[in-house]
Amino acid sequence: MGKSILEEMKEIEESLYQTKNRSGQDPLNYPIRLNNKLGHLNSLMGMGDNRPTESAIEFSKEVTARIDKHLDALNLILDEKVADFNDLVKANEVKAVKLD
């Protein structure tokens, strides 16, 4: 159950952040994720003296909605699945520290 929770959380993380970047060249090899898209868009919308374009505002709403969907899934995991996991650990009296 713990592995399943970690896999679900990793999938959410990788949707939000590019976790494979290790060097300066890696952004060329791995696509940007939602956080970079929103961050770059916000940076562009803050430039100049003009108001953001309608397409920029719509894209911001779209990316924010996609991020919120992933965050809702994460909150569900944290609120329900982690609590269920903790209950299972207690019920089976799993020791926190095991010495072999």
Parts of the chain with a pLDDT under 70: 27-28
Q: What is the pLDDT of residue 21?
A: 74
82 burial level (CB within 10 Å; 0-12, 13-18, 19+): middle
* CA-closest candidate to residue 84, choices 10, 11, 7, 4: 4
48 sits in which H/E element:
none
CA distance 20 to 4: 21
pTM of the model: 0.76
